[in-house]
Amino acid sequence: MAALFRAETSMSKAVSLKSINALSGMDARLEALEKLEELVDEVVAEKKRHRANVALKRAIQIWRKGDHAGAARWALRATEEDETHSKAFHVLAMSLERMGHVHKALVTYERAFQLDPEDPELLINLGLTAWGMKLTEGAEAMFRLYIAAKPDSPLGHNNLGSVQCDLGQPDAAIETLRNALQRMPHETILWNALATVLAEEGRSEESVVFYEESIRLAPDFARAYHNLGYAYQHLGRLEEALEIYDKALELAVDPTEVRECRHSRSICLIGAGKLEEGFKEYEIRNDQRFRAYLHHLIEAPQWQGEPLAGAKILLVGEQGLGDEFMFANIIPDVLAELGDKGKLQIAVDPRLVSLFQRSFPQAEIGTYDDRTLIDNDGNKALRLIPFAAKQNTPDFWAPMGTALQYFRKSLADFRHEAFLTPDPVRVAEFRAKLAALPGKKIGLCWRSMMLGAKRAKYFSPIDGWAPILQTPGVSFFNLQYGDCAEELARAAAQFGVTVHSIEGLDLKDDIDGAAALCAALDLVISAPTAAAATAAAVGTETWFVTAGRTWPQLGTAEYPWYASTRVFWPEKFGDWTALMPEVSDELEVWASDAERKPLVA
């Protein structure tokens, strides 16, 4: 107890000896320690920033090589080294966006912006990401903020004009870009953007002048050459387009730009009738890095032209109903190549199974199942073929269009015959219904169901079909899928003509029924749509009404893929006013002489 007491006493005495001077000295020592700690923190922070900068530099180097997943890993490492490094988050966001992780990219851009709200470049990338997510109004707001921060930079005006075009405001887009060009006439990207807005509005001829000015200002601007080639292609100047595409490829450095240009060039080659080279180059769509690449989860190797006799091959439909119909043109050739001992599997849209099974009874017909996978490399569009798996796996597989390079090397390889067989019972039923109306029976389809601002230029509204609708001595039937009741009512009110619809027939989902109706008609007149492809594939005479020359014409005035077709297009792209009377005149002549084609057996 005494010892304890003494200790407590001496402690109390020690405390009582403290003075103001003693306390001040301790405070001074603490202040020195705090300063030293701050200095150490600064050194640590500098080391963290240095390590982050090293990682970030590596990320940028890898980005420039086109490895966005690798760039993301290094940028992420930079953010882990220094969580206050706005530039590291910026590069990470850019990488995530290119990989398809657009939602993660948007959040990461926002983090970078929180760290450095004075960086206007983040506004541009935030806007671009929002634009990629179809948040066009948000993108427009970001680009306006960027313009406010950097009014003399062409980037903001370029992107604002482009997004206004996407919003269906072409006049506003043109005004934005025109005003910017008045202040910055030397900026090549603004001339390119203005030309692109005009081209998207169907004013390809005008766009050429502005693309050429963009190239004059920057002779090594590959994108402008690419776009100019695209404009020439729309104008039907295919040989000139090919020359320009070649120049674009000569100049292009970015791998994405090279792939896009090669794809555009392949379509141009096919459209010019240079089929052997064109269909071979068209395989660029199967490059895993191509923007529209579809990953097929199939265990078998992809067919590269190996002999097929006695083999088992799976052909997979691609790119929508229209192309599934058109590319099915090669199925009889594949069956012949396989021989009696070979086996053909065909994966198509579920709506086509019954029609294809009837048309190709010796083949196994199934469906594909489309999914979206999100992994470390981004979002992937996947196509699964459940029926062609495990014990039923083929020896080879190929997208249906891949076979074209082997079986369609020239126009002489197209047989001009029907290759799909509609249900004969339903055809007979439809013919009985149609017989109640006078004259020749004509099916009409005037637009795609997917009609956004950019696609509208390829289709005339039904109002523009007035000369055709007023043709005497014929009866018209609706093949337009989707909701078109208002358009049909408008046509009836304006022109006094009824376009008859078949009650109970779902033209969108009952494709077998639509095919039977088409076979019961004498003629189909249509924009280039799935309805036209259906009619043509079953052998009904089909007239395609297009805004300009189209690549499936293969350099001709028809669609050689099918039995009996004609293509009508105006001299000037999208000049429906000049085109429709011409089609009407041809229809009057046709209606007086036509004979019904026999049902395809």
CATH T-level topology, domain 295-409: FAD/NAD(P)-binding domain (3.50.50)
Give the domain 49-286 fold: 1.25.40
Six-digit token string for 467:
């000369």
CA 326 to chain centre: 19
Query: Class of the 424-593 domain?
Result: alpha beta
In the chain, % helix, strand, coil (3-state, to 5) comes to 60, 10, 30
pLDDT digits (tens, 9 = 90+) for 31-86: 554 655 565 566 667 888 888 888 888 988 988 887 889 999 999 998 999 899 88
What is the DSSP code string of 151-196?
TT-HHHHHHHHHHHHHTT-HHHHHHHHHHHHHH-TT-HHHHHHHHH
Take residue 198 and report the two structure tokens written for it. 């005009």
Rounded Cα–Cα distance for residues 453 and 134 (Å): 13
Residues of the chain with CATH 3.40.50.2000: 424-593
pLDDT at 133: 77
Residue range(s) of every CATH 3.50.50 domain in the chain: 295-409
Q: What does each C-alpha distance from 373 to 66, 297, 298, 381, 410 come to in angstroms? A: 21, 11, 15, 7, 39
**pLDDT value of position 122:** 86
DSSP per position, 94-144: HHHHHHT-HHHHHHHHHHHHHH-TT-THHHHHHHHHHHHTT-HHHHHHHHH
Q: How far apart are CA 37 and CA 503, in angstroms?
A: 84
Using CA atoms, how far residue 430 sits from 349, 435, 477, 522, 537, in Å, is: 24, 9, 11, 12, 18
Using only C-alpha atoms, the chain has a radius of gyration, in whole angstroms, of 33
Q: CATH 1.25.40.10 spans which residues of the chain? A: 49-286
The span from the first CA to the last CA of the chain, in angstroms, equals: 118
CA distance to 269, 463, 467, per residue, from 587 (Å): 32, 18, 10
Q: Which of 30, 34, 31 is nearest to 42 (CA)?
A: 34
Percentage of the chain modeled with pLDDT above 70: 89
Residue 39's pLDDT is what?
Answer: 59
Measured between alpha carbons, how far is 455 from 472 in angstroms, rounded to an integer? Answer: 31
pLDDT of residue 597: 44
What tens digit of pLDDT does each residue of 132-168 get?
778 889 899 999 999 999 999 999 999 999 999 989 8
Whether residue 105 contacts residue 96, with contact meaning beta carbons closer than 8 Å, is answered with yes
Secondary structure (3-state) at 470: coil
- Confidence (pLDDT) at 444: 98
- Give the pLDDT score at 32: 52
Q: What is the pLDDT of residue 117?
A: 86
Q: Quick check: 441 and 473 in contact, CB under 8 A?
A: no
Whole-number Å distance between alpha carbons of 552 and 416: 14
Kindly give the parts of the chain with pLDDT less than 50: 1-29, 33, 377, 594-601
Per-residue confidence (pLDDT) for residue 379, from 0 to 100: 59
In whole angstroms, what is the distance from residue 279 CA to residue 261 CA? 15
How is residue 528 annotated by DSSP? Answer: S
DSSP symbols for 182-240: HH-TT-HHHHHHHHHHHHHTT-HHHHHHHHHHHHHH-TT-HHHHHHHHHHHHHTT-HHH
